Structure 1
Amino acid sequence: MNVLAEWTALVCKELGIDPERIDRDAVLDLTRDVAHGVARPAAPLTAYLLGLAQGAGTAAPDALETLSTLARNWGQATAETLGDH
């Protein structure tokens, strides 16, 4: 077992989460997209906010994919938003 798998298992145990419910690769992809597309500090914050929304039951089923798409298109969306003013 590698360090990431060990850490994930330990955190899941501590938080009472079934590790089988975690799509680790999807979360890592999301944080990569946000870190590279928006800003590095936005990556863990985004993951945390997504977790809060999922825990509260307010996240759409495709929220992770939607956030990744938003992050990948951040530069374009920002340019379009700034161009509207």
Structure 2
Amino acid sequence: MTNPTTPAATPSRTLPPEALDEWLVALASELGLDPALVPTGAILDVARDVAHDVARPAAPLSTFMVGMAAAQRAAAGEDLTAALHDAARRTSDLAGRWTDRASQTAPATEQAP
């Protein structure tokens, strides 16, 4: 009998790289988006930076906010692609500074005499 916690019994929730493109095209179609407008690399970079420098749960929320910010700017007349890349860059930059901020505000540890 197989142990239910072994990897063989637990289906993988990770898509192989070739399936990611297929998923994104299907999702874009479902949501009525042009898949060519999705800057996959930039969004994955943001998710990585935020997960590493802030917290893992902040990654999906941050990428959602990048999309919201870009959509808001595009609705105001800016180029959507430029707005997405700018929002992604600014988010990654903030995540990098967040680590510095966290280390500056951490309480000092007591040293033994």
TM-score, structure 1 as length reference: 0.83
2:46 corresponds to: 30
* Residue 2 of structure 1, CA deviation: 1.3
Q: Which has the higher contact order (CA 8 A, sep 6+)?
A: 1
Pairwise CA distance, 1:73: 2.1
Aligned residues: 82
- Residue matched to 2:56: 40
1:55 aligned to 2:71?
yes
Give 1:4's match in structure 2, choosing from 11, 20, 27: 20
**For structure 2, which runs of at least 5 residues remain unmatched after alignment?**
1-16, 107-113
Q: Partner residue of 1:71? A: 95
Aligned letter for 2:102? T
* Aligned-partner Cα distance in 1 for 2:99–2:18: 35
Aligned-residue RMSD, C-alpha? 2.3
Deviations 1:17-76 (A, max 9, x none): 111111101100000000000000000000111111222227983111011011122111
Whole-Å Cα distance in 2 between the matches of residues 10 and 39 of structure 1? 29
2:69–2:87 CA contact under 8 A, matched in 1: no
| TM-score normalised per structure 2 | 0.64
Q: 2:31 aligns with which of 15, 33, 46?
A: 15
Sequence identity (%) = 40
